[in-house]
Amino acid sequence: MKTFCGRANPTTGSLEWLEEGEDYDYHQEIARSRYADMLHDKDRNVKYYQGIHAAVSRVKERGEKAIVLDIGTGTGLLSMMAASAGADFCYAIEVFKPMANAAVNIVEKNGFSDKIKVINKHSTEVTVGPDGDMQCRANILVTELFDTELIGEGALPTYEHAHKYLVQEGCEAVPHRATVYVQLVESKRMWSWNKLFPVHVEAEDGEKIIVPPSEMENCPGIPSVCDIQLNQMPTSDFTVLSDVVTMFSVDFSKPVQSASTYYRVQLEPVKSGKAQIVLSWWDIDMDPSGQINCTMAPYWAKPTSTLQWRDHWMQCVYFLPNEEPVLQGEKLFLTACRDEYSVWYKLQKAREEENKADVRVGSPVCRCRAHLLWNRPRFGELNDQNRTHQYIKSLRKVLKTDSVCLCISDGSLLPVLAHYLGAKQVQYFFFEANHLEDKIKIIEARPELLKPSHLEDKKISVLVGEPFFTTSLLPWHNLYFWYARTAVSSHLASNVTVLPQSASLHMMIVEFQDLWRIRSPCGTCEGFDVRTMDDMIKDSLNFRESKEAEPHPLWEYPCKSLSDPQEVLTFDFTKTVPQHGLSTEGSVNLLRKGRSHGAVLWMEYHLAADTSISTGLMQISNEKGNCEWNPHCKQAVYFFSSVIESETLSDPTAVTYAINFDTKTGEIAMDFKL
């Protein structure tokens, strides 16, 4: 079997599929998997264990043998819990081969080989009978197949099949039930991830406003869930319009139907406002009585108990198709529609309620195409008026009435800004501007194929970019701008202005409040030795270049700086990409007490001598070193293989680094020594 791995190529700005060899064995998938995060989720583990104990006891009390089906066993954890709780036999199903192999190993190490049979299959392929994978149907069904949206990983069809073919009628299920909760809110911040707001341009001849076209205003957007760490959203960034209400629940001990359906609830706004967003999360009851409950409720909805941090389950943000003014106390109906894998919402006023036929709405399909071009953080970035202002200020300084301007960035508003700021001619790669076709020319060619005729035989006097490219995963992938600039060199006027003129890579050592868990070894989990999994992840991290930085939106993951931020490399866009690589070495002092979990890296773009845009650190907000990050961008995180504890401040520990930008591949390799 061939394995293909997708990778952004920053030198061409495109996504490429690389074929991996026989020895690949899914190292990237394992290295970046969520297994460690799940095993660090103490709250989840404890509650599963309690629920499994209770289920095994109930079956035993009935005088039956406890036969467990564990679908998606991963490390084998839940089966080992069941065996320890007294189950007679467990069938542990795991579709992902490297994980199934690890489960066999872990089960053996923990001494459960005679009680647990690991089956490397998708559950729908599992057979029952004397010659089958399972001797008989199970009477306890244990699974953990949920994602942030509950059903996105296919829990419903898996349960539907299991009830039909793999478990007995009246089986015990752990979890017993899941419940989805919703809350209606107004939030300019979150709404800015879904709609383009008017852009104000202060031009020479007065203020111009770029208004989004009406088809964009009325577009229902895309169905994919927006999952975030809602606990990082301060209450000042949204207004609650309704109480938290139960939207729907699924009883996993009964036959489950996965076919599309809808659920409706009545709401009475607690406040008047603009209904824009449905916030949603779920909880699972591990037992029928509901006493063992594991919840994803955010801080304001569950203020009493301590919050368990986890990244494998977060909360959902759903955008209503349109914003709707609502009045306190008025009667509203909220409809959740779902298919097998996803959920979407619709809000109706009471008077529309009579028209029940229209309740069920199809999954949202983007009509304006902006939602296909811009993802949620990108919408947020384009709506960041402060950021836009920096570009306007810098563009205004360099644009003249006879400027011939070329813009290189994906889905950018810069050509429109440049036009309003007076450029005579604006050229742009890949963009459909809003009725400015005669003013902004879209060049349907790659930069290296640019011909003088594209530019009407003129030379480019101003070359601009944000830079932003949709294929970029890590901050430096936007250096594709530099490659494109190099490709169009022969079309540039001798006195061309390149904006940004340069970029720099910055680095800082941090201590994460929680994010460290996702890459930290587990050792034992609820008394079970899972070190085989730790070793497997370590192997995968060491496999070729898997040990590399990974992108994370750090506004969702609090950390404190342990060192000063440091500029480590600069990239001069006024020149072409050099043949040789760029490298740097140095050391950085740890200035605060703490645990050094890793280095964070980000890019800054220098638009003018006094104007820079940071895609990373915005500021260090207090003496404790708490960091504020650009909320629209992902930063690069390089996790250290071992954590160092800095204790004394009088004799600061130094971390040495070597960072290398390979101009042939556009990738940055790094190494740190503690």
Q: State the catalytic residues.
A: 144, 153
CB of 248 to ligand SAH, least distance (A): 21
**Dist CA 424 CA 440 (whole Å):** 9
Which residue lies nearer to ligand SAH by CB, 137 or 477? 137
Candidate list 50, 158, 472, 532; residue touching ligand SAH; CB under 6 A: 158
Query: Should residue 30 be labelled a site residue for ligand SAH when binding is judged by CB under 6 A?
Result: no
Residue 513 in tokens: 């409040």
Cβ burial, residue 490 (10 Å; 0-12/13-18/19+): exposed
CB of 137 to ligand SAH, least distance (A): 16
DSSP single-letter state for residue 128:
B
**Dist CA 95 CA 126 (whole Å):** 10
Give the interface segment with ligand SAH, choosing from 59-67, 75-83, 209-217, 449-457 (CB under 6 A).
75-83
Q: How many residues interact with ligand SAH (rule CB under 6 A)?
A: 19
Candidate list 71, 292, 426, 659; residue touching ligand SAH; CB under 6 A: 71
Provide the 10 A C-beta neighbour count for residue 641.
12
Residue 211 in tokens: 């208004």
Candidate list 94, 186, 323, 604; residue touching ligand SAH; CB under 6 A: 94
CB of 38 to ligand SAH, least distance (A): 5
Which residue lies nearer to ligand SAH by CB, 55 or 370? 55
Range 176-195, binding ligand SAH (CB under 6 A):
none
For 26-79, the DSSP string reads THHHHHT-SHHHHHT-HHHHHHHHHHHHHHHHHHHHTT---EEEEES-TTTHHH
DSSP single-letter state for residue 353:
G
Candidate list 56, 67, 68, 78; residue touching ligand SAH; CB under 6 A: 78
**Dist CA 531 CA 362 (whole Å):** 46
Query: Should residue 95 be labelled a site residue for ligand SAH when binding is judged by CB under 6 A?
Result: yes
The SS3 of residue 264 is strand
CB of 122 to ligand SAH, least distance (A): 4
CB of 253 to ligand SAH, least distance (A): 18
H-only helix segments in 245-300 = none
Which residue lies nearer to ligand SAH by CB, 37 or 466? 37
CB of 90 to ligand SAH, least distance (A): 12
**Dist CA 469 CA 448 (whole Å):** 16
Which residue lies nearer to ligand SAH by CB, 161 or 371? 161
Query: Should residue 72 be labelled a site residue for ligand SAH when binding is judged by CB under 6 A?
Result: yes
CB of 179 to ligand SAH, least distance (A): 19
Give the interface segment with ligand SAH, choosing from 92-100, 418-426, 433-441, 564-572 (CB under 6 A).
92-100
Closest CA to 70 of 94, 54, 48: 94
User: 629-640: b or e for each residue (b if 16 or more CB lie within 10 Å)?
Assistant: bbbbbbbbbbbb
**Dist CA 519 CA 334 (whole Å):** 39
Cβ burial, residue 169 (10 Å; 0-12/13-18/19+): exposed
Query: Should residue 145 be labelled a site residue for ligand SAH when binding is judged by CB under 6 A?
Result: yes
Helix or strand (DSSP H, E) at 272: none
H-only helix segments in 313-406 = 370-373, 376-382, 385-398
User: Nearest residue by C-beta to ligand SAH?
Assistant: 72
Which residue lies nearer to ligand SAH by CB, 38 or 395? 38
Query: Should residue 99 be labelled a site residue for ligand SAH when binding is judged by CB under 6 A?
Result: yes
Which residue lies nearer to ligand SAH by CB, 95 or 493? 95
Across 376-518, where does the E strand assignment appear? 404-407, 425-429, 440-443, 460-464, 492-499, 502-512
Closest CA to 175 of 320, 296, 65, 16: 296
Candidate list 93, 171, 499, 668; residue touching ligand SAH; CB under 6 A: 93
Query: Should residue 540 be labelled a site residue for ligand SAH when binding is judged by CB under 6 A?
Result: no
Candidate list 144, 550, 604, 667; residue touching ligand SAH; CB under 6 A: 144
Query: Should residue 96 be labelled a site residue for ligand SAH when binding is judged by CB under 6 A?
Result: yes
CB 560, CB 510: distance < 8 Å: yes
Query: Should residue 38 be labelled a site residue for ligand SAH when binding is judged by CB under 6 A?
Result: yes
Range 116-135, binding ligand SAH (CB under 6 A):
122-123
Which residue lies nearer to ligand SAH by CB, 145 or 373? 145
Residue 567 in tokens: 């500029």
Give the interface segment with ligand SAH, choosing from 87-95, 181-189, 503-511, 552-560 (CB under 6 A).
87-95
Give the interface segment with ligand SAH, choosing from 70-78, 379-387, 473-481, 547-555 (CB under 6 A).
70-78
Closest CA to 479 of 471, 402, 227: 471
Which residue lies nearer to ligand SAH by CB, 109 or 393? 109
Which residue lies nearer to ligand SAH by CB, 67 or 636? 67
CB of 403 to ligand SAH, least distance (A): 55
DSSP single-letter state for residue 151:
S
**Site residues, ligand SAH (CB under 6 A):** 38, 71-75, 77-78, 93-96, 99, 122-123, 144-145, 154, 158
